[in-house]
Amino acid sequence: MIKKSQKFVVVYFLGIATLLFASISPVQAGQQWTFSQFKQQSLNWSSCYQGFSCATFKVPVDYEQINGDSFTLQILKHRANKPSKQIGTLIINPGGPGGSGVDYAYNADTAVSKKIEDVYDIVGFDPRGVNLSQSIRCLSDKQTDDFLDNYGSVESDADLQGAIAGSQKIAAACAKAAGNKLAHYSTLETAKDMELLRILLHEPLLNYLGKSYGTYLGTLYAALYPKTTGRIILDGAVDPNVSVRDQNLNQSVGFETALNSFLSKNPQFTYKEVKDFLHNSRTKPFKGSDGRKLTDSLAFTGIISGLYEPATGWQELAKALAEVFDGNNPNGLLRMSDTYTQRNSHGHYKSNLIDISQMISCLDTTDARPLSALQKDAPNFAKAAPIFGPFLAYSGLPCRYWKAPPIKQPTIKNIVTRPLLIIGTTRDPATPYGWALGLHKELSKSTLVTLSADGHTGANRGSSCVDVVMDTYLLTGKLPLKDVSCTLDPAKLATIGT
């Protein structure tokens, strides 16, 4: 199995063949379940995919008005290697929005150490609308190509009008595809689904590992159900109290920092060279071997995908940039962009990541400022991050035209839970370190582990210091008496990607 990073978003998005899942007793025609009946379901596990267990469970579409409408969610379980020593179940989420927990649990060895695999059942579920849980698609493959090809930097009125038109198209398409379920793909509802899953697993407390966007899911769970939080790890933390505008600006600066770190290790490229290349790609894009154009949007996507992981991504990015700078060959960057968006060589998007991430994001948060305020603010993005700012200044534009309002979020302020663990990486481009500090402040019983490094997230990335704290916590429930600072181990780092 390959290990790849995804934007902000998805930390690990791992390929998996279609699985066969056991079903639960269906709701009979005309029957309306009460919440009590949802809690009384049985998980009928069946053997699947050579050694794993699979099941499904139903969740209400709308927790505020429960009726006959439901989603069916898919689960995969990696059973503890040593059942006689099992200490519980660990639910894991790779990030997103739109990352597959089923895929992540299938690749449990990339998420946790063997010590944890020995004594925990590792469980992943695909959230509502994601992957195998009634996957929803708004756009055809061709429409997705058009959306991604043209969603580049905004440097003129024509650019902005094009971005608005694309945003309106995806908003209308998702409204048509989802129908009366459009308002019910939020992270808040997925947190409630996760509580229902805890009940069906007969676990007294929720043990959870969430990465990147998965930390936001874990945070909302803690805010809703503080009394049933168990051993919770939030790696690559999202601060829910940071505005949409500041999230986009923080990420712009984060990727700028990551690019400069990359360039310091790859002096054959210059900052100006990268900047000019992206700018020129707006009007004179290189063509790949199949005739496909590397637009500035696709070039941007390919570059940021390589900046997520120094151990593997930087090498791939250096090769791709050399090909395009020295030989006008954009195939490497096109491949990197396609891997990031889950597009295969035949032009088919293997997952619905693009559609569902937009749907979830627009329900979770929105930038209520008028369009004129975004236009006025755009130069601030370009000043703070000359390369990446123009691409992210208008991020979230489709949400302005969304056909369902954002969901009211719980207040994340002085949340009191059992002790939990936050991991932040100092030069993380996608979830900047300041977000870990902010979340640490609001989760009153949290311990913060700081990894001084480049790249996204901290666990299983080459630091024994981080990994020992994480394993000790999951095995014993014990955390350090004070916050911890860690670095990478050169010897351990050298084994990553081999």
Q: What are the tens digits of pLDDT across the range 7-63?
A: 333 443 333 333 333 333 344 444 677 888 899 999 999 999 999 999 999 999 999
**Residue segments in the chain with a per-residue pLDDT below the cut of 50:** 1-30, 494, 496-498
Residue 220 shares a structural domain with residue 369: no
Residue 365 shares a structural domain with residue 219: no
Residue 149 shares a structural domain with residue 102: no
The pLDDT assigned to 493 comes to 54
Decide which of 370, 401, 432 is a domain's last residue.
Answer: 401
Per-residue pLDDT of 95-130, as tens digits, reads 999 999 999 999 999 999 999 999 999 999 999 999
Residue 108 shares a structural domain with residue 205: yes
For the full predicted model, state whether its pTM sits above 0.75.
yes
In a domain, 466, yes or no: yes
Decide which of 359, 377, 401 is a domain's last residue.
Answer: 401
In a domain, 166, yes or no: yes
E strand or H helix that includes residue 362:
helix 353-364
Residue 81 shares a structural domain with residue 175: no
The pLDDT assigned to 491 comes to 65
SS3 130: coil
In a domain, 299, yes or no: yes
The pLDDT assigned to 178 comes to 97
Residue 254 shares a structural domain with residue 393: yes
The pLDDT assigned to 22 comes to 37
Decide which of 337, 370, 401 is a domain's last residue.
Answer: 401
In a domain, 327, yes or no: yes
Torsion sign, CA atoms 192, 197, 200, 206: negative
Cβ–Cβ under 8 Å, residues 205 and 420: no
Residue 164 shares a structural domain with residue 278: yes
Residue 367 shares a structural domain with residue 462: no
The pLDDT assigned to 150 comes to 78
Residue 249 shares a structural domain with residue 230: no
Domain count, the chain: 2
SS (H, E, C) the chain: CCCCCCCCCECCCCCCCCCCCCCCCCCCCCCCCCHHHHHCCCCCCEEECCCEEEEEEEEECCCCCCCCCEEEEEEEEECCCCHHHCCEEEEEECECCCCCHHHHHHCHHHHCCHHHHHHEEEEEECCCCCCCCCCCCCCCHHHHHHHHHCCCCCCCHHHHHHHHHHHHHHHHHHHHHHHHHCCCCCHHHHHHHHHHHHHHCCCCCEEEEEECHHHHHHHHHHHHCHHHEEEEEEECCCCCCCCHHHHHHHHHHHHHHHHHHHHHHCCCCCHHHHHHHHHHCCCCCEECCCCCEECHHHHHHHHHHHHCCCCCHHHHHHHHHHHHHHHCCCHHHHHHHHHHHCECCCCCECCCHHHHHHHHHHHHCCCCCCHHHHHHHHHHHHHHCCCCHHHHCCCCHHHHHCCCCCCCCCCCCCECCCCEEEEEEEECCCCCHHHHHHHHHHECCEEEEEEEEECCCCCCCCCHHHHHHHHHHHHHCCCCCCCEEECCCHHHHCCCCC
Residue 393 shares a structural domain with residue 422: no
In a domain, 16, yes or no: no
Query: Closest by alpha carbon to 100, among 76, 125, 123, 83?
Result: 125
CATH of the domain at 119: 3.40.50.1820
The pLDDT assigned to 387 comes to 97
In a domain, 80, yes or no: yes
Query: Closest by alpha carbon to 120, among 477, 465, 480, 469?
Result: 477
The pLDDT assigned to 33 comes to 78
In a domain, 24, yes or no: no
Torsion sign, CA atoms 160, 130, 446, 456: negative
Residue 353 shares a structural domain with residue 489: no
**Those residues with Cβ within 8 angstroms of residue 400's Cβ, 6 or more apart along the chain or in another chain:** 167, 366, 367, 371
The pLDDT assigned to 32 comes to 73
In a domain, 62, yes or no: no
**Parent domain of 102:** 1-10+75-132+188-240+415-498
Query: Closest by alpha carbon to 262, among 199, 322, 308?
Result: 308
Residue 370 shares a structural domain with residue 491: no
